[in-house]
Amino acid sequence: MEIGRLHSRLVHRLEAFPGLSEEGRRLIAEIPMLVHNFGPGEDIVREGQSPSQCCLVLRGFVMRHKTAHPAKRQIISFYVPGDLPDLQCLVLPRLDDTVSSLGASVVAMFPHSAIWEMLARSPELARLLWRETLVDAAIARERVTNLGQRDAIARVAHLLCEMNARLNAVGLAHDLQFCIPWTQADVADACGISTVHVNRVIQELRGSNAVEWRGKEIRILNLEQLSKIGEFCPNYLHLSHEGVDEKPSSRLN
Amino acid sequence: MEIGRLHSRLVHRLEAFPGLSEEGRRLIAEIPMLVHNFGPGEDIVREGQSPSQCCLVLRGFVMRHKTAHPAKRQIISFYVPGDLPDLQCLVLPRLDDTVSSLGASVVAMFPHSAIWEMLARSPELARLLWRETLVDAAIARERVTNLGQRDAIARVAHLLCEMNARLNAVGLAHDLQFCIPWTQADVADACGISTVHVNRVIQELRGSNAVEWRGKEIRILNLEQLSKIGEFCPNYLHLSHEGVDEKPSSRLN
DNA sequence: CGCTGAATTGATTAACCTCAACGGGGGTGG
DNA sequence: CCACCCCCGTTGAGGTTAATCAATTCAGCG
């Protein structure tokens, strides 16, 4: 993957935001990036570290998780291409949980210093990056509701709907079909249930003809039904940029 | 409460951050604020709204919650004096959940426009507010772990430890004693368990001499033990501002 | 073809929920 | 000042969900 394409992944993500200027695009293109490959399960940044770089997922999947006892792992969130899993470290230096590769992944790293220089020149981009961290926060809050209020089948259904929506937004889901390199144990740790029970839940979802799910390949057969089971409402993902253009740009400069 | 004190509450919160300049303090003091009183359970901002103001808790407690069915409420987080419960709306206009008063509270409201003007003049303050939203996000992520990996007694113990740490940080806990106007039903909805079970968990905590808990008055008798039960580690609260002074201020201007 | 990690199944157990009832305390109206 | 009431906390019994333990099958891979 040549450098030009790397930047375009970031630009593409940020320009979903209607207000990105030519100047902003140019500044993004100037950020120096280094590409890294990570193997399945490999740690990218560990809890407690204060990295001097941020990473951008280019290909594959990344997860953020907290592992106290080896047998008690909570996956906080999954990250898909275009996501910035540890962007918050720019402002809150110490990382609270570990970021690891789920399956093999390709990740671009860029130094905090370069970002800060970019932000100093463009309040517009500052706001866009701030926004990215807030969408990540909104996803975490929705997960709180998912774990606190829903039963096992709803949790899994909700997670599926979310991944479908997010992958669809970056062009990685077609016809409600997508591919995530997770095991049932990963799903279990994300949903706070046991692997055995995940298995039974998946069978129940298959049995009700809501999804096809063989290994890493997932196909949603009935999105409406699945959304209902998981009480899924995509608002919290903030995939459309409602309301942002109401702000006069003068306030951003 | 006269206006001068209102601003000082905000200044006090932000100046825990070591780098706040005189200029920053002056800019904060210029923000126009309106004080509102809210009764128990009263909504401050509702899900789906796009408020044009932010609020700062001055006195009492505020909570953020999502209520699907009336009988299925998840309390995402509690906010204590000095917190900015809907600061994120500055950047992500639509609110994903509802912010309500827990017990009676006093809240200061200030217009987004004034904040934006302030931020345009002070990248330092922009960074501080960004930081505030990220700490809020970190708390939500910790709650994910709390709900996903811990059993009922650990969840409640963890919540108690968190509230103690946060209240202590703003001078509202003394000798491990504090007062929160919640009911057992509120604790239940925050921890994702039933009110009946909350009651039994509290009795268990009382029985093990970890806490005294009568109504709204809470006293932690054995913090070490309670932290162990709740697997509580305060790092995620980011109460100390580790590492921030390592950033040269030139990057902020 | 054997090995290894993942998926699947069954049986038992533990944690927690639901329903239902009762008690107590503070506020309100008579 | 008393009586009532309502909300909250408390208790008990029975039911449900999901965890745990343990074994078996399956799929990919060297």
Give CA–CA dist A195/A136, Å, rounded. Answer: 26
SS3 of residue B178 by DSSP: strand
Condensed to tens digits (0 to 9), the pLDDT of residues A171-182 reads 999 999 999 999
The residue with tokens 């994702």 is B192
Give CA–CA dist A104/A180, Å, rounded. Answer: 11
Best B149, B229, B237 residue to mutate vs chain A (most A CBs within 10 Å): B149
The per-residue pLDDT for B242 is: 63
Short-list A43, A41, A118, A131, CA closest to A84: A131
Please answer yes or no on whether A120 and B123 come within 8 Å at the CB atom. yes
Mean pLDDT throughout B46-68? 94
Chain B residues whose beta carbon lies within 8 Å of the beta carbon of residue A136: 137
Give CA–CA dist A118/A102, Å, rounded. Answer: 30
Give CA–CA dist B239/A135, Å, rounded. Answer: 23
Please answer yes or no on whether B140 and A144 come within 8 Å at the CB atom. yes
Condensed to tens digits (0 to 9), the pLDDT of residues A68-97 reads 776 799 999 999 999 999 999 999 999 999
Please answer yes or no on whether B192 and A91 come within 8 Å at the CB atom. no
- Distance from the B154 Cα atom to the nearest Cα atom in chain A, whole angstroms: 14
pLDDT averaged over every residue in chain A: 90
Q: Which residue is nearest to nucleotide D19 (CA to C1')?
A: A194
Query: pLDDT over 70 for what percent of chain B?
Result: 87
Structure tokens at A236: 């919290």
Condensed to tens digits (0 to 9), the pLDDT of residues B173-186 reads 999 999 999 999 99
Give CA–CA dist A84/A55, Å, rounded. Answer: 6
The per-residue pLDDT for A62 is: 97
Structure tokens at B204: 């268990």
The per-residue pLDDT for B22 is: 84
Best B141, B193, B250 residue to mutate vs chain A (most A CBs within 10 Å): B141
A16 has a pLDDT exceeding 70: no
Please answer yes or no on whether A144 and B74 come within 8 Å at the CB atom. yes
Mean pLDDT throughout B28-45? 91
CB of A36 within 8 A of CB of A105? Answer: no
* Alpha-carbon distances, residue B56 vs A52, B47, B49 (angstroms): 32, 18, 18
Q: Give the other-Cβ count within 10 Å of A165's Cβ.
A: 16
Q: Is the pTM of this model over 0.85?
A: yes
The residue with tokens 């089971």 is A229
Nucleotides of chain D touched by protein CB (<7 A) = 7-13, 17-22, 28
Structure tokens at B105: 């509270």
* Alpha-carbon distances, residue A201 vs A164, A185, A217, B80 (angstroms): 18, 13, 17, 39
B64 has a pLDDT exceeding 80: yes
Taking the stretch 9-28 of protein chain A, residues with Cβ within 7 Å of any atom in nucleic acid chain D are: none
The per-residue pLDDT for B199 is: 98
Q: How confident is the model at residue A1 (pLDDT cuts 50, 70, 90)?
A: very low
A197 touches strand D (CB under 7 A): yes
Condensed to tens digits (0 to 9), the pLDDT of residues B21-35 reads 888 888 888 888 899
pLDDT averaged over every residue in chain B: 90
Q: How confident is the model at residue A30 (pLDDT cuts 50, 70, 90)?
A: confident
B245 has a pLDDT exceeding 70: no
Condensed to tens digits (0 to 9), the pLDDT of residues B131-172 reads 999 999 999 999 999 999 999 999 999 999 999 999 999 999
Please answer yes or no on whether B96 and A235 come within 8 Å at the CB atom. yes
Condensed to tens digits (0 to 9), the pLDDT of residues A134-162 reads 999 999 999 999 999 999 999 999 999 99
The per-residue pLDDT for B19 is: 67
